[in-house]
Amino acid sequence: MTPSTPATAATAPAPPANRATSGDVARVSRARRRERSRAIVVTAGLAAAVTAVLLAALAVGDFRIGIPDLLARLVGQQVGELQPRIDYVLFDLRLPRAVTGLLVGVAFGLAGSLFQRLLRNPLASPDVLGISAGASAAAVLAIVAFGASGFAVSAGAFTGAVAASALIYALAWQRGISGYRLVLIGIGVNAALLSAVSFLMTRADMTDAQQALLWRTGSLYDSSWDEVAALLGCLVVLVPTALLLARALPRLQLGDDSARGLGLPVERTRLALLLVATGLIGVGTAAAGPVAFVAFLSGPIASRLLGGARPGTVPAALVGALVTLSSDFVAQHLFGDQQFPVGVVTGAVGAPYLLWLLAKSNRAGRGE
Amino acid sequence: MRKPLGIGACLAVAAVLSLAVGTKDIPVTTVFDALTAFDPGQVDHLIVTERRVPRTLAGLLVGAALGLAGTLIQGVTRNPLADPGIFGVNAGAALFVVVGIAVFGVTSLTGYVWFGFAGAATASAVVYVIGSLGRGGASPLKLALTGAALTAALSSLQSAVLLTDPATHDRFRFWQVGTLAGRDPEIVEQALPFLAAGIVGALLLGKVLNGLSLGDDVARSFGQNTTTDRVCCGLAVVVLAGAATALAGPITFLGLAVPHLARMVAGPDYRRILPLSMLIGPVLLVLADVLGRVVARPGEVQAGVVTALLGAPVLVVLVRRRKLARL
Amino acid sequence: MAGESAAAHTVAAAPAPAPAPAPAPAPGESRRPAVHTERISLGYGDRRVVDELSLDIPPGRITVIVGPNACGKSTLLRGMARLLRPTAGAACLDGKSIHSLSSREVAQQLGILPQSPSAPEGITVTDLVGRGRSPHQGWFGRWTDADEQAVADAMRATGTLDLADRSVDELSGGQRQRVWIAMALAQRTGVLLLDEPTTFLDLTHQVEVLDLLADLNRTEATTIVAVLHDLNLACRYADHLVVLSEGRLVAEGAPREVVTEELVRDVFALPSRVIDDPVSATPLIVPIGRHHGSANRAGTAAGTAAADSVAAAPADTPADAAADTPAEAALDVAAAIPPTGAGSAAVSGVASGAVVRSETELREVVDEPVPLIADKAAPAIDDESRRFLEAAPLLMLASAADDGSVDVSPRGDEDGSVIVLDERTVAFADRQGNRRVDSMLNILRNPRVAMLFLVPGIDHALRINGTATIVRDGELLDRLALKGSPPELAVVVTVSELFVHCGRAFGRSKVWDPEAWPDQGSLPTAGTLLKAHTALRDALRDAERYGS
């Protein structure tokens, strides 16, 4: 062991000047702006895409409405002799359906990404955790056992989602919530509820079973303005609350200890976020059924578009709307005479996309 | 050696109950007569031999197969929550059965078997291949994600078919629930070779699993080829779970719970766990089936529903216990 | 008992050295709130980890908490950071219990860097550092120029500006740790707590991170509390060293006052020499390994590698460490006890000519064994042995420490003392006992163990020699659960040899013959024995103290 000369020991490296120069600040700002501008571009692009698909959904169909007429009627201008027909198709048929699709997509996309970010696990979406299954079980029970339809089914679905969520939270609570435990218990509750649904299906008569299957797949068929109003009323409260609470996500993403160290009341915030996300799922499911995998897919797709690790709740909500609207468009128009409910397409298109993502990230060595 | 004997006794009791209990309860003596001195003129004898014997046999085979498959998959993935379902076995089998009914006009259970089997095998192969790409091989989370995603894709296709074809849905919903009812000897015979091969194969894999349970590095230092080992175990799982699902429809949670019970009885050595799983699985499934016949008389609750409703609490308890995550 | 040994060496809470005149804080700097704990008890569930610990953190100084694994140092830090609610007592910030403050209030004054924090996938350095500003923003706050300045300052101080655009995933361990520290700095708190900030870093990066903390302390007068596992680095960087053992405060004060060879031996169970660090003149702990310390000293009275290096140290370093301290004297006594197998000094009551000193002398008395017996060791557990092992409810575990001291202790369970994992491996639970964990400490220092398996009524016994590993996680513990509760620890033994011990000793002693068993009442109880031992110890201590 050769001791270093006393000289080097005495002249320890001078402490760096701790004040950053304006150049340093500019450098940091640039890095931050680069990420933020990507987020802005992605959000704007998604918003434009949603608008485009929305317009297409309003214009295209057996009765085609030209874009100029469409825009004119939307802002209340007269369009000539076809106006009564246009108004019927546009305002009574297509607009409620498209707006329901938009709102439901936003609710599912937002809720799904909240769950996934909150529990720090891409598997932790409401359709895997048994919350959608809770809604399904309650709705199918209402349809099969009580012959319910319309509002009663919706109310049942909402109740089922909230009850399933409360059950999972209570079972997973052990001096706090661990994301891993909650996911695993959710998977168990999901399996039990789905098996209950299968059982109910065998007890139904043929028509009820078919109606229940349609509901479970998720569809926008019987959207009405009443429904839109109810949905909108709920989302006006839930979405801003969710976006506000989502400001805690950047801290929660760093783990419970770091989040607490950064001044976040972790359990309270997490409970509030879970409540809001469950509310969004419940409302969306009540309106359109558990549209397959919109909630599961929106978050991962949005974060791939954004890059980095921003929580991206708004982009996720827009991805949800885009996926729902475009899937409904495909389901209505691309299979000739055969119309499918939207849930068939979201699952069939979204899941392979996720598989592809998985294969890609696994191959790149990031999959753990 | 007392414990396996005790479980053997449970198995015998379960089997006798399964032969005696049902919509029409048949005294045990009559059951015995039907088996030893069959009289075709007696309705009770006919019920026992034509209905309940095949059904019980199916329960025994499916239970053994799912118990073993669950133990194998938990051992291979070293994940105490693994279940053949995560390989997409159920979703694959379901889609193929739906296609069989809708496209090929299959109407009998004997026809479902082949479709179910092919579907289970295809789906699990796809999940395994995608899930094991990249660094670290087939990790539990990768497998679970891939399995969930594939299940999503397959069930979408499945509901597309079912929605356009109510007649198919009408048949399929009774397969979907997972039951032992209505299994006649012919179907059991069809599935038997696969199940027998799978069971024998699985029982030989105890030593391999012991090695794998210590981690890949240690296993390799014992001279095991871990890739080959995993493929062998995977094949056995596909054969067992595929044939079981083909025979009885999707039965959840059995493959999850049985290995834990077997480990509680047998300790850590897979050479003992595997035979015990083969005994415990049938006990649970046959008892679930008997329970299903009793609770909703004169109707029946399917065995698949009973196992799910009883299995979910088991899962919750397992998860709440400390340090379950690693195996 | 462990408590007693700890108490015996407690350095009476040394008064914290008067804080050196800290540089005046830069304008706009956050104040340094005072941190202390009042008889704080912390634990997880029923398990108490920190026990009524009172501690004052000197403001504006670097405090380092050290102690052996599982002594509660990280738990204490979590308690001080409001991450863990105390079961009794309190952690205080400026005299107020930290749990009476809101988490945001705390976060504005006190930053915590947890042990191995996890960054979300794909996050960029700037984004991560920026998240340190959140306590100052609130729910509706906007990003301000002051935030940007704080982030840039933190990145400058940690030398991470060049990494601004990079993704945290692709950084090296040292860079990543600097980024996390930058995040904590961006929080601009007067107190910074760090839990093992140097774990998983190579030596260069460890020094780099600690230098960074020292800079920060000097320039900003930030109060720093860090848990470190490297004692030497702790001594070098700490103004104030806090030594914990089993959840209690063993010593605190300046490293030079606190760190002695006795302390290191008592707290870390490590025989060592403490010399002056030739670079910083702080204490430097030189461990005495199993292969160096006693063997060398047996050969030469003075020279050990450690002493040589002291001699080579520059003349201006104080040389008093080379002088005979009481600790060193004690070590000499320990060293005089020969390692196993070496010859023996005088044995009381035996004439020196009557002592056997070599194998040749031994063989003069005992003949060579016949080959079957000489080769009777088996390399692994066969099925027959397995049946025997699984039937044995009791085993005697022998272990030896690196300094030659040995221990033998009984282990038993109703269902059998061990489980056989495979041909080469057995495992048994370490059920909670008196917490002395002598065998476990031995195993940590020297993994070789021997186990003798006893079956009641059977005269022969099996012995396993092997290498032990202590396991604290995983499914194995669940397998060893007793009445549903898994043990805290398990020991896995890799078998190197297996022997049969013939039954003659058992036969002669009639140990399994109830006829030969003594009357229970005629023997001292465990309590009586313990009492007698305590009395003997006290007598000896008094004798030493007062030179009876």
Q: Return the CATH number at C225.
A: 3.40.50.300
Number of domains observed in the structure of chain B: 1
Residue A159, pLDDT > 90, answer yes
Q: Which residues of B touch A347 (CB under 8 A)?
A: 152-153, 155-156, 159
**Could you tell me which chains touch chain C, where touching means 3 or more CB pairs under 8 A?**
A, B
| CA A204/CA A191 separation, integer angstroms | 20
C101 and C51 together in one domain? yes
Q: What would the pLDDT profile of A237-260 be if each residue is shown by its tens digit?
A: 999 999 999 999 989 888 888 999
Q: Answer with the residue of higher pLDDT: C204 or C329.
A: C204
Q: Which residues of B touch C475 (CB under 8 A)?
A: 80, 268, 323, 326-327
Whether B326 and chain C come into contact, CB under 8 Å, resolves to yes
User: Contact B139/A368 with Cβ under 8 angstroms?
Assistant: yes
Which range in A215-229, C150-164, C367-381 is most confidently predicted, on average pLDDT? C150-164
Residue A44's identity, in one-letter code, is: A
Residue C392 structural domain: 374-514
Residue C300: its pLDDT value, please? 41
C221 and C306 together in one domain? no
Q: What would the pLDDT profile of B170-193 be if each residue is shown by its tens digit?
A: 878 887 888 888 777 777 888 888
Does residue B298 have a cis bond before it (omega within 30 degrees)? yes
Q: Is residue B327 part of a domain?
A: no
C227 and C328 together in one domain? no
pLDDT bin (cut points 50, 70, 90) of residue C58 is very high
Shortest CA distance from B252: residue in chain A: A191
C289 and C404 together in one domain? no
User: Contact B116/B158 with Cβ under 8 angstroms?
Assistant: no
Q: Is residue B233 part of a domain?
A: yes
Number of domains observed in the structure of chain C: 4
C441 and C314 together in one domain? no
Q: What would the pLDDT profile of B20-79 be if each residue is shown by its tens digit?
A: 887 778 888 888 888 888 887 788 888 887 788 888 988 999 999 999 999 988 888 777
CATH of the domain at B303: 1.10.3470.10
Whether B323 and chain C come into contact, CB under 8 Å, resolves to yes
Q: Which DSSP letter does residue C515 get?
A: G
Q: Is residue C125 part of a domain?
A: yes
Residue C151: its pLDDT value, please? 92
Q: What would the pLDDT profile of A186-224 be if each residue is shown by its tens digit?
A: 878 888 898 888 888 888 888 888 888 888 888 888 788
Residue C293: its pLDDT value, please? 55
Whether A73 and chain C come into contact, CB under 8 Å, resolves to no
Residue C323: its pLDDT value, please? 37
Q: Which residues of B touch A202 (CB under 8 A)?
A: 173-174, 177, 302
Q: Is residue C268 part of a domain?
A: no
A362 contacts B159? CB cut-off 8 A: no
Q: What is the mean pLDDT of residues A347-351?
A: 76
Provide ipTM, 2 decimals.
0.81
Q: Is residue B87 part of a domain?
A: yes
Residue C508, pLDDT > 90, answer no
Q: Which residues of A touch B150 (CB under 8 A)?
A: 351, 355
Q: Is residue C23 part of a domain?
A: no
Q: What would the pLDDT profile of C79-91 be if each residue is shown by its tens digit?
A: 999 888 899 999 9
Residue C516, pLDDT > 50, answer yes
Q: What would the pLDDT profile of A20-69 be if each residue is shown by its tens digit?
A: 788 888 888 888 888 888 899 999 999 999 999 999 999 888 888 888 88
| CA B314/CA C46 separation, integer angstroms | 25
C529 and C504 together in one domain? no
Whether A262 and chain C come into contact, CB under 8 Å, resolves to yes
Q: Percent of chain A scored above 90 by pLDDT?
A: 29
Q: Percent of chain A scored above 70 by pLDDT?
A: 92
CA distances from C300 to C17, C41, C288, C468 (A): 40, 48, 15, 33
At the topology level, CATH places domain A37-359 in ABC transporter involved in vitamin B12 uptake, BtuC (1.10.3470)
Whether A211 and chain B come into contact, CB under 8 Å, resolves to no
Which residues 403-432 in chain C show a CB within 8 A of chain B?
419-422, 425
Residue C375, pLDDT > 70, answer no
C112 contacts A1? CB cut-off 8 A: no
Q: Which residues of C touch A2 (CB under 8 A)?
A: 312
C332 and C450 together in one domain? no
Give the count of beta carbons closer than 10 Å to the beta carbon of residue C522.
Answer: 6
CATH of the domain at C466: 2.30.110.10
Q: Is residue C20 part of a domain?
A: no
B319 contacts A351? CB cut-off 8 A: no
Residue-wise DSSP of B195-254: HHHHHHHHHTTHHHHHHHHT-HHHHHHTT--HHHHHHHHHHHHHHHHHHHHHHH----SH
Give the count of beta carbons closer than 10 Å to the beta carbon of residue A338.
Answer: 10
Instruction: Give the CB-side neighbour count of residue A16, counting CA atoms within 13 A.
Output: 18
Domain boundaries, chain A: 37-359
Which residues 290-319 in chain A show a CB within 8 A of chain C?
303, 307-310
C41 and C138 together in one domain? yes
Residue C337, pLDDT > 60, answer no
Chain A nearest-CA distance from C371, in A, is 50
Whether A1 and chain C come into contact, CB under 8 Å, resolves to yes
B268 contacts C478? CB cut-off 8 A: no
Burial of B147 (0-12, 13-18, 19+ CB in 10 A): buried
C473 contacts B326? CB cut-off 8 A: yes
Chain C nearest-CA distance from A320, in A, is 22
Q: Residue ranges of the alpha helices (H) in A81-221? A: 83-87, 95-118, 126-129, 131-146, 151-172, 179-203, 206-217
Cα–Cα nearest to C288, from C259, C341, C317, C331: C331
Whether C214 and chain B come into contact, CB under 8 Å, resolves to no
Q: Is residue B36 part of a domain?
A: no
Residue C325: its pLDDT value, please? 42
Q: Which DSSP letter does residue A90 get?
A: I
Chain C nearest-CA distance from A261, in A, is 5
Q: Which residues of A touch C91 (CB under 8 A)?
A: none
Residue B88 structural domain: 58-320
Q: What is the mean pLDDT of residues C156-177?
A: 87
